[in-house]
Amino acid sequence: MAFDREQVLRAAASLLMRKSSATMDEVARAAGISRATLNRQFAGRDALVRALEELGIAECEAAAARAAVDDGPAPDAVRRLVRELEPAAGLLAFLYSENQLFENEQNEGWARLDARVVALFRRGQEAGEFRIDLSPVWLTEALYGLLVSAAWAICEGRVAPKDLTSNVTELLLGGAVRREK
């Protein structure tokens, strides 16, 4: 049987989202491989988490591209982005909880993604679509935080999966959209 790295990473992400303290033995079982096979591919938990980070970055960058975040009204682009990020929300939630592993360093991929989302919010502000009293960086962090919170709530069965996109976008945009006084 051939080793399917992406399948193993997805199984690991699914397990670790539900149980962040899972052992490498548990990850191997969840992926349907032996511990030895897992160890040959990932030299410990840190290596596995770094591989999951690369997968998360790739998925988020692909989602931003599919969402065409540079096109059309910014609120519509935010809605498209959240819809496209929805399948990666669980992985993002796990990575968000593992951020201490990457203390004092930021992966270039996250920096690219952050810059793209910040530019989306800035574009919306310049077009008069978003409030200017909230920085584009804060709006970006709020978007990530809402995605992660929604993923955790879904994982715990407190929110229906079908509600993720509308809950995140409506709460975020409800606070970010500029209103005439």
DSSP secondary structure letter of residue 133: S
- Name the one residue in this structure whose structure tokens are 């960086």: 137
For residue 162, which amino acid is it?
K
Q: Which residue has the higher pLDDT, 179 or 30?
A: 30
Q: pLDDT class for 144, splitting at 50, 70, 90?
A: very high
Q: pLDDT class for 101, splitting at 50, 70, 90?
A: low
What's the pLDDT at 162?
93
Distances (CA, A) of 123 to 60, 63, 74, 129, 171: 20, 19, 7, 9, 20
What's the pLDDT at 2?
62
Query: How many other CB atoms sit within 10 Å of the CB of residue 134?
Result: 15
What domains can be seen in the chain, in order of their start residue? 5-176 (1.10.357.10)
Q: Which residue has the higher pLDDT, 75 or 98?
A: 75
Distance CA 2, CA 84 (A): 30
Q: Are 76 and 173 in contact (CB under 8 A)?
A: no
Tens-digit pLDDT profile for residues 2-36: 678 888 998 998 898 888 889 999 999 999 999 99
Tens-digit pLDDT profile for residues 117-137: 999 999 999 999 999 999 999
Question: Closest Cα partner for 116 from 168, 71, 176?
Answer: 71
Q: pLDDT class for 181, splitting at 50, 70, 90?
A: low
* Secondary structure (3-state) at 177: strand
Q: Are 147 and 168 in contact (CB under 8 A)?
A: yes
- Strand runs (DSSP E) across 27-159, as ranges? none
Give the global pTM.
0.87
